[in-house]
Amino acid sequence: MAQHTRFSSSTSDSRRLWRTLTRMLAGLLLAWGSLLFTAKWRATLPLPPLETNLYAYLPDNGGWKGDSLRVESGRDIHLVLRSVEGTHALRIAHTDVESTLLTPNSEQVLIFTAPAPGRYVVECTVWCGPNHWRMRTVLEVTDPAAPDAPINYVQDTPRYEIPWTQLNIDAAHPADSWPIVPADPVIGAEIWKTLDAEIEPSQLIDAYGWPLATPADVYIALQAGQGLPAAANMNEVERWALVAFLWEAKSTPTVLERGADLFTRNCASCHGVDGSGTGFAAAVSPALEPDFRHSPTAAGASPLQLYAKIARGGMGTGMPNWGTVLDEDDLWSVTEYLYTFLFRDPHTNGETTLTHE
């Protein structure tokens, strides 16, 4: 009887121990699960806004200075801008983030959400000195899931393939033919109406090789009656007016208006509002500014040559690259607008060429 009692007591102790261990294991599992749930729940919560300070100095004194501009995509950012010296305005390329005028000793806070991963050019959009073009820095936006992954400059894919070697954008491209008097696209439009052509104007100029064709190339093709036999019998003024009309058929008034706005804001300080190369900053430019109205050189530049020069910048000339700053539509708006100086404005016969920027 005593032996049976000892056996029962041993069994009871084992059961109590098993129940204790089971409860402990369940508690551990519950605690572990709670920790996992809490971690996942916290991960779903938005991070607090990241406050970043940026100070604006004159370009020769360092330009933009301040905290690191490296953030995670999707993070809310409070960018605190302070102008230490000079007047500036900030814009982050390929975003809608832009400040108003930042006068000396003033402060602004820009609130935005960090965009997709990439390197975004931060520029000053107000002329702030001879080296204004150096007033740039970069906002680096990383992927939270891969913070160490390489990031590239944000830039639109070019609309057309660029044959860089063929373009040779740093060389002179004098025209084989050019208008002696300003070519008027309005007159060209009237001439076109009389031709009863079976092709659209934009299709005809495409057939001539646009955007690799120059205005001079189109004139020579018309002179030979290529695709439009009646053009061979026109006089020089009429033929150039037709070139101007065909050229502007590749654009629209809205595009040209946008190009004019961009040119005035970003280019006129050196190139002049009238494209003459006599902007107020031309005197301190490292290179001679071109006169876009000068027909012997303007008529020898293809749209793709001008586009490539704008996108890449003028090496050693003080002209920055705009390919990482403007989107593709804006780059082409400026490119197309440049030809209005040849076709719509009075031009001179000076010696300035388009090979300098």
- The model's confidence at residue 352, banded by pLDDT at 50, 70 and 90, is very low
The distance of Cα 168 from the centroid of its chain, to the nearest Å, equals: 22
- The model's confidence at residue 47, banded by pLDDT at 50, 70 and 90, is confident
C-beta separation of 92 from 119 below 8 A: no
Cα diameter, the chain: 134
C-beta separation of 139 from 99 below 8 A: no
- The model's confidence at residue 347, banded by pLDDT at 50, 70 and 90, is very low
Q: Which amino acid is at 73?
A: S
Residue 267 CA to residue 257 CA, distance in Å, equals 15
Q: What is the pTM of this model?
A: 0.82
Average pLDDT, the chain: 89
**DSSP state at residue 197:** -
Where are the domains positioned within the chain? 50-142, 164-343
Least confident of 38-42, 103-107, 182-186, 255-259: 38-42
Run of H or E residues at 165? helix 164-167
Residue 58 CA to residue 134 CA, distance in Å, equals 10
- CATH code that applies to domain 164-343: 1.10.760.10
If you write DSSP's letter for every residue of 290-334 in order, what string do you get? P-TT-HHHHTT--HHHHHHHHHH-BTTTTBPP-TTTS-HHHHHHH
Half-sphere exposure in the Cβ direction for 200 (13 Å, CA): 6
Residue written as tokens 């061979």? 232
Looking at the predicted structure, is the pLDDT value of residue 242 above 90?
yes
Half-sphere exposure in the Cβ direction for 10 (13 Å, CA): 6
**DSSP state at residue 60:** G
209-222 average pLDDT score: 98
Angle between helices 303-312 and 328-338 (to 10 degrees): 130
If you write DSSP's letter for every residue of 231-296 in order, what string do you get? GGGS-HHHHHHHHHHHHHTTS-HHHHHHHHHHHHHHTHHHH-TTSSS--TTGGG-SSPPP-TT-HH
pLDDT of 37: 65
Looking at the predicted structure, is the pLDDT value of residue 45 above 70?
no
pLDDT of 89: 97
pLDDT of 350: 37
Question: Cα angle vertex 185, ends 179, 188, to 5°?
Answer: 90
pLDDT of 196: 85
Residue 222 CA to residue 19 CA, distance in Å, equals 99
Which tens digits make up the pLDDT trace of 72-89? 999 999 999 999 999 999
What does each C-alpha distance from 132 to 62, 95, 96, 267, 309 come to in angstroms?
Answer: 11, 21, 21, 12, 19
pLDDT of 46: 67
pLDDT of 39: 64
If you write DSSP's letter for every residue of 104-118 in order, what string do you get? TT-EEEEEEE--SSE
Among positive and negative, which fits the CA dihedral 162, 164, 166, 167? positive
pLDDT of 264: 95
Residue 18 CA to residue 354 CA, distance in Å, equals 91
> What percentage of residues in the chain have a pLDDT greater than 70?
91
- The model's confidence at residue 301, banded by pLDDT at 50, 70 and 90, is very high
Residues pairing with 292 in the sheet: none
ω into 211 cis (within 30 of 0): yes
pLDDT of 135: 95
pLDDT of 224: 97
> What percentage of residues in the chain have a pLDDT greater than 90?
71
pLDDT of 5: 52
264-285 burial: b if 16+ Cβ within 10 Å, else e: eebbbbbbbeebbbebebbeeb
Parallel/antiparallel/unpaired status of strands 50-56 and 64-66:
antiparallel
Exposed/middle/buried for residue 82 (C-beta within 10 Å: 0-12, 13-18, 19+)? middle
12-21, 141-150, 311-320: range with highest mean pLDDT: 141-150
- CATH code that applies to domain 50-142: 2.60.40.420
- The model's confidence at residue 93, banded by pLDDT at 50, 70 and 90, is very high
